[in-house]
Structure 1
Amino acid sequence: MKVGRLFPGIMVSNDVHDDPLDFVAGFSVLRVGDLTKEIVFGDLKSFFSCLLHRMGEESARAMAVVLNTFDGLDSTTLTGLMSKFRSCLAVGSLNLISPLLSEDSHACLIWLDRFAHNPASIAYVGFGMVMRFTPVEVAALAEGLESSGAPFIWSLKAREGFPAGFLEQTAGKGLIVPWALQSMVLGHVAMGVHVTHDGWNSMMESIAGTVPMICYPTLADYKLNNRLVSHAWRIGVEVDGGVLTRDEVVNSIELVLRKDEGRVMRERACKLRELGKESVGNGSSVEIFNKLLGILLVPGG
């Protein structure tokens, strides 16, 4: 039986994939199988596995661990982490403090303005800079987007793997760009759903825009994040069975954009955004950031 390391001093076997992480304070909504494999399964002597293990050891000795989150979003988890570290500081959401300032080089916002009369109607597909699609995944996404009938923006570097006729048949209703000003796109009134890999910054930007998510996590901490989105905060849905298919894309977009479940998700996301704005306005994040400054500027913290 393979054995992996979760935290220093805690050992987990790979026959507990669906077991909750309730032996770690504040993590009961998460499962062992949501952890990145380099922590629990696989080659535990790999570079990344050893790096994560060392980070766990060093974090426990750090004067402070700083997180891009806020108390109203992650209260239970933060309480658990505070019991593990000398000081756990939630100073986010950082995108609400300092929005990204950059040029909309592919005119996504101008394109979105065409749909401003129909709020929460557009699908945005953005999977960050690391994840790479297989041809099968590209085809499934393309077919699902076209069949859903929803207008969409798709941030995708390489235009490869599209089904025959896809670009022609979605012309005018779909915009495919190599890069999008994501925080601004998600903040547009027409934006209705974010098809995402569940990177933490992408999640924070979706919350800031009150945009529910369709989650397709594959790497790193993405499965953990997906579990928070779909089961803890309930502001999104996960791809069923972890397999991206045309029907799964169509059904998920239909649920979020056109059914009551999607409306309720947007309402929950709106409440979270308001908590975030309060935190960075004159609330807990401001107080905690000042505490961080004291640690950084005063010798010995």
Structure 2
Amino acid sequence: MPASCHIAVFIFPFGSHAPPVLNLVKKIAASEPENVKCSIFSTAESNKLHFFPDAKGDEEFGNIKAYSVWDGVPKDHVFSGNPQLERIGLFIKATPDNFEKALKEAEEDTGVKISCLLADAFLWFASDLAEKIGVPWIPFWISGSCSLSAHLYTGEIRKLATTTDKTIRTIPGFEGLSINDMPREIQLKNEQSPLALLLDNAALNLPRATAVVVNSFEELDPDITLDLKSKFQNLFNLSPIPSIPTPSKKTSNLSRVHDTEGCLEWLRKQSDASVVYLGFGSVCTPPPDEMVALSEALETCKFPFLWSLRDHARNTLPDGFIDRASRYGKFVSWAPQLEVLESGKVGVFVSHAGWGSVLESLSNGVPMICRPFFGDHGLDSAMVEVKWRAGLRVKDGVFTKNETVNAINLILSGEKGKEIRENAQLLKGLATDAVKPNGSSTRNFQHLLKMVTKS
């Protein structure tokens, strides 16, 4: 008997957007294996990286299948300037025709009409497409409630940016923050980059959604959550979303990846909450002078550390540092971050403050030292330090040896850092409660599930 519900899932194929959306889809698919069919739509490159090896077959779940959409890059195209931004621009120009074409392919392939459109919130054109085919549109904001709110208040923030006093006083949940903490795309009135325009259009269209899904939990930002609920028909904070066991013996990149470099075995030998974990995501790397400052700080502090460091970045470390520091630290090219933070051994996470890292860190009670790079990193860092008081920002957004030494010592062993450590544990408790059987995220997921299956 064919599935009665066919959910189309649109992926924004850049950065860390795919994993949280795919994890939610897996949870939906596992909850309704007989009733729901999920079709994933992304570029072939993204599907191969985040989903299935051949982007179509070898499914973990019988009710999930991936379809490739054109990435917008012309044949023999030569990239110049900033290839990533250029790729985003070309991809945006190819939408929505590439997605609409793939939707028809999925309907013909499955024999079931699309009944709901779940899309990364960046892909705002999905609102028009959902209206055209007469189905609910449910955008998924993969970052936190704070960044969603910031984009909804873009007009007010841009007005404040032209004033002398940069302190925010009237936006719920942001009191005491500075306009300078907001993403660059919001601050600049005439910013015309493809990404800035995409975000502006997303914010304008989100109130049209049947429901908005947010990658957070209500108790983290109660004032912001209350304000957002007044702006949307339905608001569902769903995180932290647990990993969903694979129903077959097959594995893919969606499953927790094997710890090939022995991070967890090394961590088991360390004392609880004693390790400095350093990881800057898949895109960010501090400049050479800051890599030197970080290295000197670690060598001065002598705390055990685990550093997830891509191979090309090792060339920027001081001569002999890796050999000297290997007595008490471990360098890896990749770390299973969630398992590392869940281990109980990490006392502080030195991070770029991407939302995925912030959510994983705070949900596991690990304080942070934040060095933002772009996008919502600065806002996330400000929330960590000012609003949640569960970490610190590096001074002036740049690693220096002395400031980094002071920050590590304060959080791991300083009396002044006691409140930070306690606040991080408090947030862990709130996150844990949110996913209990009657927790807010659990209830929100059940509401979402009824919505997508009813459709």
**TM-score normalized by structure 2?**
0.61
| Among 179, 182, 195, the residue aligned to 1:35 | 182
Shift of 1:246: 0.9
**Matching of residue 61 in structure 1 with residue 217 in structure 2:** no
Partner of 1:296: 452
**Residues 87-106 of structure 1 deviation map (CA, whole Å, 9 limit, x = unaligned):** 22111122488896221111
After superposition, residues 97-112 of structure 1 pair within 5 angstroms as: 101-112=256-267
C-alpha distance 16-241 of structure 1, shift in aligned 2 (>3 A): farther
Q: TM-score, normalised by structure 1?
A: 0.90
Aligned partner (choices 401, 404, 425) of residue 249 of structure 1: 404
Structure of higher CA gyration radius: 2
**Structure 1 residues 11 and 122: alpha-carbon distance in aligned structure 2, compared to 1, 3 A threshold:** closer
Counterpart CA distance in 2 for 1:178 and 1:18 is 44
Instruction: Give, in angstroms, the shift of residue 267 of structure 1.
Output: 1.9
Residues 145 and 204 (structure 1 numbering): CA distance in 2 closer, same or farther, change over 3 Å?
same
Query: Amino acid of the residue matched to residue 332 of structure 2?
Result: V
Whether 1:264 aligns to 2:411 is: no
Q: Which amino acid aligns with 2:443?
A: E
CA RMSD between the two structures: 2.3
In structure 2, the CA distance between the partners of 1:9 and 1:172, relative to structure 1 (3 Å rule), is closer
SS of the aligned residue for 1:81 comes to helix
- Secondary structure in structure 1 of the residue aligned to 2:306: strand
In structure 2, which of residues 285, 292, 296 is the aligned counterpart of residue 132 of structure 1?
285
Q: Are 1:232 and 2:403 an aligned pair?
A: no
Unmatched 5+ stretches in structure 1? none
From the superposition, tell whether residues 62 and 106 of structure 1 become closer, same or farther in structure 2 (CA, over 3 Å). same
One-letter amino acid matched to 1:85: F
Q: Is the 8 A contact 1:126 1:155 kept in 2?
A: yes
Q: 1:77 aligns with which of 224, 231, 250?
A: 224
Q: How many equivalent residue pairs?
A: 294
175-184 vs 5-14, which moves further: 5-14
Cα offset, 1:182, TM superposition:
0.6
Q: CA deviation at 1:165?
A: 1.8
- Are residues 1:122 and 2:278 paired? no
CA change 1:251–1:281 in 2 (3 A) is: same
Residue number in structure 1 paired with 2:341: 186
Contact 1:27–1:80 at 8 Å: present in 2 too? Answer: no
2:353 paired residue among 189, 192, 198:
198
Q: Secondary structure at the match of 2:435?
A: helix
Distance 1:166 1:43, change over 3 A: farther
Stretch moving more, 11-20 or 260-269? 11-20
* Separation in structure 1 between the aligned mates of residue 343 and residue 164 of structure 2, nearest angstrom: 39
Deviation at 1:169, TM superposition (A): 1.4
Query: Stretches of 4+ moved more than 4 A in 1?
Result: 8-11, 95-100
**CA contact 2:157–2:186 (8 Å) conserved in 1:** no
* Other-structure match for 1:145: 298
What is the percentage of aligned positions where both structures have the same residue? Answer: 36
Q: Secondary structure at the match of 1:138?
A: helix
Q: How does 1:165-176 map to 2 (within 5 A)?
A: 165-176=320-331
Shift of 1:42: 7.2
1:2-21 equivalent positions in 2, closer than 5 A: 6-7=153-154, 11-12=158-159, 14-16=161-163, 19-21=166-168
Matches of 2:213 and 2:152, distance apart in 1: 23
Determine the C-alpha separation between the residues in 2 that align with 1:108 and 1:164. 24
Change in CA separation of 1:220 and 1:17 when aligned onto 2, cut-off 3 Å:
farther
Structure number with greater CO (CA < 8 Å, separation at least 6) is 1
**2: distance between equivalents of 1:80 and 1:242?**
30
Which residue identity does 1:135 align to in structure 2? Answer: P
> Cα deviations across residues 173-199 of structure 1 (Å, max 9, x unaligned)?
111111100111112232111001111
Measure, in 1, the Cα distance between the counterparts of 2:163 and 2:298: 36
Pair 209,8 (structure 1): closer, same or farther in 2 beyond 3 Å = same
Q: Is the alpha carbon distance of 1:271 and 1:123 closer, same or farther for their aligned partners in structure 2, counting shifts above 3 Å?
A: same
Among 411, 416, 430, the alignment partner of 1:275 is: 430
CA distance in 2 between counterparts of 1:166 and 1:83 reads 53
- Cα distance, 1:43 vs structure 2: 5.3
Q: Distance in 2 between matches of 1:7 and 1:204?
A: 24
1:124 partner letter = Y
Q: Which amino acid aligns with 1:132?
A: T
Q: Conserved in 1, the CA contact under 8 Å of 2:214 and 2:235?
A: yes
The question of whether the paired residues in 2 share the 8 Å contact of 1:97 and 1:280 is answered with no
Contact 2:340–2:346 under 8 Å retained in 1 = yes
Q: CA offsets, 1:108-147, max 9 Å, x none? A: 11111221xx221110001111212211121111111111
Mapped pair 1:113 → 2:260:
no
Contact 1:29 1:228 in 2 (8 A): no
- Report deviation, 1:287: 1.1
Instruction: Assess if the C-alpha contact under 8 Å between 2:273 and 2:347 holds in 1.
Output: yes
Aligned to 2:102: none
* Corresponding position: 1:162 with 2:309: no
Q: What is the one-letter code of the residue matched to 2:340?
A: V
For the 8 Å contact 1:5–1:11, the answer to whether it is kept is no
Unaligned runs of 5+ in 2: 1-150, 246-253
Shift of 1:23: 3.2
